[in-house]
Structure 1
Amino acid sequence: MTTATALKGGADLNTNIRLDDERFPDAIGWRAKFGVLTPAPNTVVENEFHEMAPTGVVNVVNRYYVPNQKVRSDDDWRLIMAHTRRNVADAVEALVQAQMDHLIMGMSSESFMGGVEGSMALRKELKDRAGCDVTVGAEAAERAFEVVGARRIALLTPYYPVIDQNAVRYFTEKGYEVVAVEGLKCKSIIHVGAQRADTLIPAVKTLAAAKPDAIIQLGTNLRFARIADEAERWLGLPVFSVGTAIYWTALRKLGITDRFAGFGRLFEHH
């Protein structure tokens, strides 16, 4: 059967694919092409990553289907996680076609599910599918804590307890002491992206009262990167956005060491 016939729907289109595995320098991402996974309703992480990208680095973003589910209980978050597990594989396969140099999972919650064992299984699955290294939120948070020597930590999240508990489990298994958690119990993923300074700043101050070595915000759809940068100055301790930690980790893994202000101590000093 000819290619023309196949294109008319007369045969399985996959039988005519001839993948080009030759590598070409990208005109925009000549230093690195990041494949970025993000849930469909997430409006923040993609734009924050674009703000952080140094010259010569491009973000190739693919959104996998997750419903903008109303969240009123732990079960609602479990449904969101189930959609992530069902749909993320196809999203990775699509990003493979862009010949990405590195895969970033721009959703932090999934990287904590099942504690350390679950997180490591996720990383392996993503790496095997992508054919390149991967960075996820749990790993990036650890790297951020390591550079400042933090062991007593506090968490700011948009989640319900089912996700918070998995994050606490992960960090505890890694030897950290979680001294405080502020879960905002946002009403949906879109509602996460609507949180502003008047909610986030008081939450950070409440966490600081527990005297942690460092604070980290989880949930990549919280617009927190710039607030974290400011909070470090008026609290006098490390305050990390998980999105910043993820992007910083991915860049450093590829040997890209650009330093710049506006996104906290990770990019300014490390």
Structure 2
Amino acid sequence: MNSLVKEPAAIAGTTHSRERYRNAMGPRAVIGIMTPGPNVVVENEMMDMRPRGVINAVDRYYVPNQKIAANEDWSIIMRHVAANLDDSVRRLNECLIDHLILGMSSQSFMGGEKGSFALQEHLEKTSGVGVTMGAQAAEAAFEAVGAKKIALLTPYYPVIEENAVSYFTSRGFEVVHVEGLKCKSIIHVASQTGAVLRDAVRRADAHKPDAIVQLGTNLHFAYVAAEAERWLGKPVFAVGTAIYWHALRKLGIKDQMDGFGSLLADY
């Protein structure tokens, strides 16, 4: 357990029952979703993606809505994430979740390939269930469509983007462009309009990738991605959609759904 995380107060007589029952509202799966407090998009987009019989249990761990003007500001955000993830898992474990989602893509790329898989292994050990993160979900999405040359669209500064490029390069992809919006805070990420995002997609597409992925789950991109696929004629993935799609498929849930692009509709 991270030393910065305070243990909950010990109350005499506390027990933690792990006897499982079939959830009446979510008989097919209960998915735990961890997301930072200022992230106002991932929870609602993933609620819209739920198939019948699946429910989401959301935990909002503490991260400040840091003013972002340099790489170090993103680094501070990531240190807060690292300090609070285990406590978030502890709370979601009380739901007896069937699967865990890390609903913040930036942390899934930190440390490149090695750091990403180490975090996934740690979260699986801590939660006791399968874990889906942005890095591996985006990789699976590219593999599904046979994409090798990729472009990234992000709200980040280079400190995050460099880790993402390292991850994808290590996994055998060629990153032909990174379109970084350099948002001023996590809440500012959520304010980016469809027009801003469509223009960013066009700039990324000018570099001729096989596919484009948007990172940063607080960008409201799920519907923009589906729209962009139609007018570009190539795969455009929202990372939140890729994460939820990959979690469902890892659970053995094969439902297809229109409105969120090719991943949920066709794969």
Counterpart residue number, 2:263? 266
Q: After the TM superposition, which parts of structure 1 deviate over 3 Å for at least 4 consecutive aligned residues?
A: 12-15
* 1:39 aligned to which of 33, 36, 39: 36
Q: For residues 76-155 of structure 1, what are the structure 2 equivalents within 5 Å?
A: 76-155=73-152
Q: Deviations over 1:152-197 (max 9, x none)?
A: 0000000001001110011011110000110000000000000011
Cα distance in 1 for residues equivalent to 2:111 and 2:96: 30
TM-score normalised per structure 2: 0.96
Cα distance in 2 for residues equivalent to 1:15 and 1:249: 40
Cα distance in 2 for residues equivalent to 1:254 and 1:173: 27
**Larger Rg over CA atoms:** 1
Deviation at 1:14, TM superposition (A): 4.3
Moved more, 259-268 or 15-24: 15-24
Deviation at 1:13, TM superposition (A): 3.3
Counterpart residue number, 1:203? 200
Which amino acid in structure 2 is aligned with residue 172 of structure 1?
A: T
Cα distance in 2 for residues equivalent to 1:260 and 1:169: 32
Deviation at 1:93, TM superposition (A): 0.3
Instruction: State the number of aligned residues.
Output: 259
TM-score normalised per structure 1: 0.95
Unpaired runs of 5+ residues, structure 1, are 1-11
DSSP 3-state at the match of 1:126: helix
Unpaired runs of 5+ residues, structure 2, are 1-8
Deviation at 1:18, TM superposition (A): 2.0
* 1:75 aligned to which of 66, 72, 85: 72
Identity of aligned residues (%): 59
Cα distance in 1 for residues equivalent to 2:81 and 2:256: 33
Deviation at 1:15, TM superposition (A): 4.0
Which amino acid in structure 1 is aligned with residue 200 of structure 2?
A: A
Counterpart residue number, 1:238? 235
Cα distance in 2 for residues equivalent to 1:15 and 1:63: 27
